[in-house]
Structure 1
């Protein structure tokens, strides 16, 4: 409970004071320290501030300040104590031999009395509150912050074991893991935040880490550092120092620096940075106990911790420091600001023109004056140093780091090149001649294994789904309920589950590539080509994945730091021909094109999709998706053998997210499409007639005029509408409408059972002839052109609902998902109409 929640006359014992920096220090100095009883005396006439009694004197706090203080009340203490007593007795009962467990009426009464709140143990409520407050205080909230590839996750896995919980937090596109650990009687709630190189506003990861540190201020931050890249990693440390939060630094991978012969006096470095620094090797667990011990020392504020932990101000030069002071004067007037932010941190971020901070400050009453002092300081810095303030701040931070490392006698050794294998592999894998072919070969192997090996479990799952549908079909009487269960629910769930094996295999390969360090090389190899499209090198992998399934491809865009590149990549992914479109392609191509030209038509569809993706990405990055792109500054981590546990955990987690995110939406969409095709229902009609008079048939006839420029009739329109839920439905719908055969959706290759392609050709040609008043011979070339335009429309139009749901999930908004649906459909209409109208000129 928070102190602000207590009413007049109530009391509580302080568990901890949250917040950070000078704001927290001021509250603690006023006597609000752990284990002290505080009484609520009265509220001001306007309900704020509130007068409290603590340590024998009276003091007032605003509600917002009292909200930063955690307390335990007598009522809470009784509940917690009673709960723990029950648990102890239940545990004792489990451990007691069965023959001793004999109860009579008296023993039951004694047990009842023992659990009453009026027991003697509750007579001194203050003692009880203090006892429970001490227990509650021994819960430490810890956040792991560090650069990518620094070993945070290794510590998290080592410390939390199997207790981790992975969550995709609402409104963000990054993952953070939560886990628990126990040490020396303390419970640690650990959050593994995304890896970030700084606390700027370039990427969602950086903004998310900042948001977590500000809004959910942890008790202690563990800043994990790759000691083999000490100077670069310490830049993030300096930014954390600006935020004025309690921190312990883990000098991880210390064994690699020892092998290399590096030397650093980390005690001296701790003193200079004002934070405890502990050498660690998280893979083996070396140094973890000492790290936990230091966290406790910093959290409790012991004398030992104070010898290492002190808040320092990194000097950024006279003009910048003067500007910081002037900005702080105005920021300190706003108490609500000081509760969450270090005013020094905000001032520095303003001088760096941080857009997120500028937006926050612009809402303050003193915003005009604050920005005036910022601009004034920046102009003076330019006059004095000929550089902008942001550059001057970065130079000052690196200057401080360099000076501290010199004073700590930091020297890089040359005993052993710990990255010798990495250097050898990079000379091959990123070679200008063989690097690209090797990359394409690895991608080809990945997709060959995914779609060849994955087809077997896909077929098994598909068979099981079919068997389940048949079983329910035989048990239930004919009617809408049976049809909904078999065709709607089971069919909908089956359409999601059937792709799970391929999703798992694909992510298995991606996890290996990421954990081994090769994924960074893939982006390095492809960046120049992607940059010409206005994208990032990391966009290539999601685009390639899109040929398998757009859903996991959209989810894979979270590896792209640049928000602009991530959004544009998601927008153009639906233009990649996913596997679900293949049955449609085969159905139309095999029906209207000769065996000699079928491969050419199929390839043209893939190439047209890629070509349109290039055009659209250029237009979007120039006119639609605004914002600066992040520079291609990407670490190429050393190659490491990924652990089986990590790879399988990542693989399953992505598969679980796929099922969780997509299953419900696909199910709902499939049921809706089923209902539109089923109602109004008439058992006397044939399947084809039923489709024609159903709601979806009526929709097709209603929108038929819209598609006259493409030469489509209402049956083509119904197929298009049906594909909104899932593209697989298009082939079966067209097959039923024209030949009363729904097997087309099952074809992954040429399969002319019973001459069905010839039947479909005759049926469609006859419809086209009737539509244009032509003979059958005259209609054949027109039908072929119409069919090709239909393929173009299917290639480019409305992504399946699952893909839209994935876009919404990754962007946190339906805006971009709906925009994708609209622009792709408009693009499909325009391209197919142009091709049809131009084609008719030559027929």
Structure 2
């Protein structure tokens, strides 16, 4: 089966193009590092596989996600490379293109974002570019689907004739060219199985001090190459190679450049950025945008829809289930498990789907519009104060959806200590799994200020993360952060199909959890609430759940919790935060969220309710997040530390707020 590798700089529309070519949706975002692992899809009307690799500026990787692309070229053996470029930023993009063309793998160059190029004073003649670069060049605009059909046909055609595509050969200076030829002959003499173009490409990348290539050469015992390291570095071949490539790019663009008589300058992006990236106004605008998101999710759209869904599930659905099970003669124990346990528990969590999907729709719209890159930019100055930079804020933003993907997104951070700090503070971001429990309490105690209360929790998580990052900066002696560079894409009107796909891609995990993890957790908590050490019980106060909850209840009294049912529900939240809501419904023997909200009024005050939400925001990450921390750090120690430290921070802050608040309320 033929394989096409999709490569390009970040924010060139590469993943959007992947979606159009494969009819398979992959996560689309407008900030650097959104693709942290390769994604695969099948080319439409073909058996050809397309591999979407991380956005990179060079084959010389700085981060883990960039190394994925170089490693794939070394070991994946793609039949064709589709190099996606931003037509409006072609000079910078072609640096990667030249590296790909030198590999000997056939390349099709896609000049994407043609709408951006139309706003510049010049255009490019595609046949001239193809002549200079010795590859196929096609113009596309993935957002409007312009040129997609022609590119699709060209890819299939290029696969049929891939063997005739020669590698690009640049006129390197004599010392460099001589060293390349001599080392190529020596290396092929000892490793004749290596293709000549691939051998030459390896040598050039080795001379350019590509550490991934140098590690590969060591592993493969390419001694004819590795013995030349000192000689290559002493003669400064890396600078010679870079200057030759830059000169070639300038000559190529000069030859292909044509005046644009229909130039239509668009100053919209610059006008908006004057406000949203302003040193003083950027942060307040960022806060205002998130406040609007929560108003939509909790006040205007999400909550009314959730109430309707809850009324349907807790009313007709539950009544019908009880009637059917009774008519079938189902055992009372089993009927209670199915209705009071699974249906009420899982159904109670599913009622929050409208709120979560509205929030994800807002986030998808912000991503597709181009704003999220600005959010990272305006926080850069704040992050610099704690030894990090705006690149670390990107995983934190991603963590609003899921802490697991937030931790994985730290692969875009170059410095190991910065990456570790970002991993440790990422679980403090309020993921979507916490939204159901927030919704319950704000409906019970803060009905007039739901968006403000939820927004305060999100920003409290950010504040705690920043404070801990400052502490880690001092503990790990982070003297200065790495350089932060991010492309600011032009603003676009969000496409409805991308918003819908993005919403589903982010929200489907919640629905899937309802059928797996939450289902299992609901069954577990029902069993614990109906069994004791001696067998089934009719009094829940004699159950295993009550025994464990009462044992730990004294620990939670200082933060205003006086119900063992709540304590037991918090324990299940370590499996997945969504289970907390389902566990409470089961433990209180209720039929849905409305009844649970009514129950809270006798258990909490507004102060104790808020303190419990603070605790839920910050305490032990779920099992999936802990497993990801272990995988990303390669250490069980940091996983255990994350669990322990987050519990201590959550408990200490919740107790502090409750005890101080009790003096005034």
Quote the residue 2:642 is aligned against.
820
Quote the residue 2:266 is aligned against.
419
Quote the residue 2:541 is aligned against.
688
Contact 1:263/1:413 (8 A) holds in 2 = yes
Quote the residue 1:458 is aligned against.
306
* Alpha-carbon distance in 1 for matches of 2:507, 2:522: 21
* Alpha-carbon distance in 2 for matches of 1:236, 1:348: 14
SS at match of 1:342: helix
Q: How does 1:612-627 map to 2 (within 5 A)?
A: 612-620=464-472
Quote the residue 1:394 is aligned against.
242
Does the alignment pair 1:633 with 2:485? yes
Quote the residue 1:120 is aligned against.
none
Quote the residue 1:143 is aligned against.
5
Identify which range, 150-159 or 245-254, moves more after superposition.
150-159
Quote the residue 1:181 is aligned against.
44
Contact 1:735/1:741 (8 A) holds in 2 = yes
Contact 1:205/1:561 (8 A) holds in 2 = yes
Quote the residue 1:114 is aligned against.
none
Quote the residue 2:202 is aligned against.
346
> In the TM superposition, what is the alpha-carbon distance from 1:231 to its structure 2 partner?
0.7
Q: How does 1:1-20 map to 2 (within 5 A)?
A: none
Contact 2:24/2:41 (8 A) holds in 1 = yes
Does the alignment pair 1:375 with 2:230? yes
SS at match of 1:505: helix
Q: How does 1:349-748 map to 2 (within 5 A)?
A: 349-365=205-221, 370-381=225-236, 390=238, 392-406=240-254, 408-410=255-257, 413=260, 416-452=263-299, 453-467=301-315, 468-474=317-323, 475=325, 477=330, 479-491=332-344, 493-494=346-347, 497-537=350-390, 540=393, 543=396, 551-552=401-402, 554-555=404-405, 562-563=412-413, 568-569=421-422, 571-576=424-429, 578-582=434-438, 609-620=461-472, 631-660=483-512, 663-680=515-532, 685-690=538-543, 694=544, 696-699=545-548, 715=564, 718=568, 720-727=570-577
Contact 1:252/1:279 (8 A) holds in 2 = yes
> In the TM superposition, what is the alpha-carbon distance from 1:633 to its structure 2 partner?
1.4
Does the alignment pair 1:798 with 2:620? yes
Decide whether aligned partners of structure 1 residues 804 and 322 sit closer, same or farther in structure 2, where only a CA change above 3 A counts. Answer: same
> In the TM superposition, what is the alpha-carbon distance from 1:237 to its structure 2 partner?
0.4
Contact 1:199/1:209 (8 A) holds in 2 = yes
> In the TM superposition, what is the alpha-carbon distance from 1:246 to its structure 2 partner?
0.7
Q: CA RMSD in A?
A: 5.2
Kindly provide the CA deviation profile for residues 551-582 of structure 1, in whole angstroms up to 9, marking residues without a partner as x: 54654677777246676555434434543554
* Alpha-carbon distance in 2 for matches of 1:603, 1:255: 37
Decide whether aligned partners of structure 1 residues 730 and 359 sit closer, same or farther in structure 2, where only a CA change above 3 A counts. Answer: same
> In the TM superposition, what is the alpha-carbon distance from 1:232 to its structure 2 partner?
1.3
Kindly provide the CA deviation profile for residues 608-638 of structure 1, in whole angstroms up to 9, marking residues without a partner as x: 6444322323355676799997632111112
Among 565, 578, 602, the alignment partner of 1:756 is 602
Contact 1:517/1:638 (8 A) holds in 2 = yes
**Unpaired runs of at least 5, structure 2:** 29-34
> In the TM superposition, what is the alpha-carbon distance from 1:830 to its structure 2 partner?
6.7
* Alpha-carbon distance in 2 for matches of 1:654, 1:729: 18
Kindly provide the CA deviation profile for residues 10-35 of structure 1, in whole angstroms up to 9, marking residues without a partner as x: xxxxxxxxxxxxxxxxxxxxxxxxxx
Q: How does 1:279-298 map to 2 (within 5 A)?
A: 279-281=139-141, 291=151, 294-295=154-155, 298=158
* Alpha-carbon distance in 1 for matches of 2:193, 2:640: 37
> In the TM superposition, what is the alpha-carbon distance from 1:234 to its structure 2 partner?
0.8
* Alpha-carbon distance in 1 for matches of 2:185, 2:654: 63
Does the alignment pair 1:233 with 2:93? yes
SS at match of 2:228: helix
> In the TM superposition, what is the alpha-carbon distance from 1:411 to its structure 2 partner?
5.4
Tell me the TM-score normalized by structure 2. 0.76
* Alpha-carbon distance in 1 for matches of 2:556, 2:655: 8
Kindly provide the CA deviation profile for residues 679-700 of structure 1, in whole angstroms up to 9, marking residues without a partner as x: 237666522233xxx1x44545
Quote the residue 2:169 is aligned against.
313
Kindly provide the CA deviation profile for residues 291-335 of structure 1, in whole angstroms up to 9, marking residues without a partner as x: 456545543449xx95xx431233554555566567656765775
Identify which range, 615-624 or 646-655, moves more after superposition.
615-624
Q: Whose relative contact order is higher, 1 or 2, with alpha carbons under 8 Å and at least 6 apart?
A: 2
Contact 2:26/2:39 (8 A) holds in 1 = yes
> In the TM superposition, what is the alpha-carbon distance from 1:517 to its structure 2 partner?
1.7
Quote the residue 2:32 is aligned against.
none
Quote the residue 1:10 is aligned against.
none
Does the alignment pair 1:269 with 2:129? yes
SS at match of 2:6: strand
Bigger radius of gyration: 1
SS at match of 2:122: coil
Contact 1:508/1:651 (8 A) holds in 2 = yes
Contact 1:147/1:195 (8 A) holds in 2 = yes
Decide whether aligned partners of structure 1 residues 792 and 431 sit closer, same or farther in structure 2, where only a CA change above 3 A counts. Answer: closer
Contact 2:310/2:594 (8 A) holds in 1 = no
SS at match of 2:39: strand
* Alpha-carbon distance in 1 for matches of 2:118, 2:583: 67
* Alpha-carbon distance in 1 for matches of 2:20, 2:454: 50
SS at match of 1:520: helix
> In the TM superposition, what is the alpha-carbon distance from 1:240 to its structure 2 partner?
0.7
> In the TM superposition, what is the alpha-carbon distance from 1:528 to its structure 2 partner?
1.4
SS at match of 2:235: helix
Contact 2:401/2:506 (8 A) holds in 1 = no
Kindly provide the CA deviation profile for residues 46-86 of structure 1, in whole angstroms up to 9, marking residues without a partner as x: xxxxxxxxxxxxxxxxxxxxxxxxxxxxxxxxxxxxxxxxx
* Alpha-carbon distance in 2 for matches of 1:618, 1:610: 12
SS at match of 2:466: helix
SS at match of 1:375: helix
Contact 1:670/1:726 (8 A) holds in 2 = no
Contact 1:798/1:822 (8 A) holds in 2 = yes
Quote the residue 1:18 is aligned against.
none
Contact 1:670/1:725 (8 A) holds in 2 = no
**Unpaired runs of at least 5, structure 1:** 1-138, 382-388, 591-598, 762-783
SS at match of 1:202: coil
Quote the residue 1:76 is aligned against.
none
* Alpha-carbon distance in 2 for matches of 1:212, 1:265: 32
Contact 2:276/2:285 (8 A) holds in 1 = yes
How many residues are paired up? 640
